[in-house]
Amino acid sequence: MSDDRYSKLDQLGSDSFAAATPEDARLERVENPATDADYLIRFTCPEFTSICPVTGQPDFAHIVIDYAPQRWIVESKSLKLYLQSFRNHGAFHEACTMMIGQRLVDELAPKWLRIGGYWYPRGGIPIDIFGQWGEAPAGLWIPDQGVQPYRGRG
């Protein structure tokens, strides 16, 4: 990439691997190419995994991140690697979901961000976690996150 705007993107276009922990993972960002209008960016991770801090068993979730950017947007490969860094991270559903949202807010300073963590059952009970930072810009089209409530085999 010869464009100076992208000179600090070390992960995109190179062999990159998920960090051992979310704290060690690097999120990369680029300047928002469309600052003249409010718009929504959505990332969906339907196969998110982390580890139960008590049992050491894997936990699975469908994560949906929506945000209205301000100056920065997240580079998608770095986000993918960040989310993969949770695979061996031991934390409760609430901590994982809110940690992801807060990290994106800290790195990007968006106008608005929401996260939905739709967790598969643990102990027979599905747990859904929702977080929001800021107010959605007036007139911003915000579609439903599209994740159905857990129904089991019904």
Instruction: Enumerate domains of the chain plus CATH numbers.
Output: 26-133 (3.30.1130.10)
Digit-coded pLDDT (tens) for 46-64: 999 999 999 999 999 999 9
Q: Is 59 a catalytic residue?
A: yes
What is the model's pTM?
0.91
Digit-coded pLDDT (tens) for 87-108: 999 999 999 999 999 999 999 9
Instruction: Show Cβ contacts of residue 135 under 8 Å, excluding neighbours closer than 6 positions.
Output: 112
- The answer to whether residue 1 scores a pLDDT higher than 50 is no
Residue 81 CA to residue 17 CA, distance in Å, equals 7
Digit-coded pLDDT (tens) for 119-144: 999 888 999 999 999 999 999 999 99
**Helical segments of the chain, H only:** 76-84, 93-108
10, 38, 52, 144: the catalytic one is 52
3, 4, 59, 66: the catalytic one is 59
Q: Is 45 a catalytic residue?
A: no
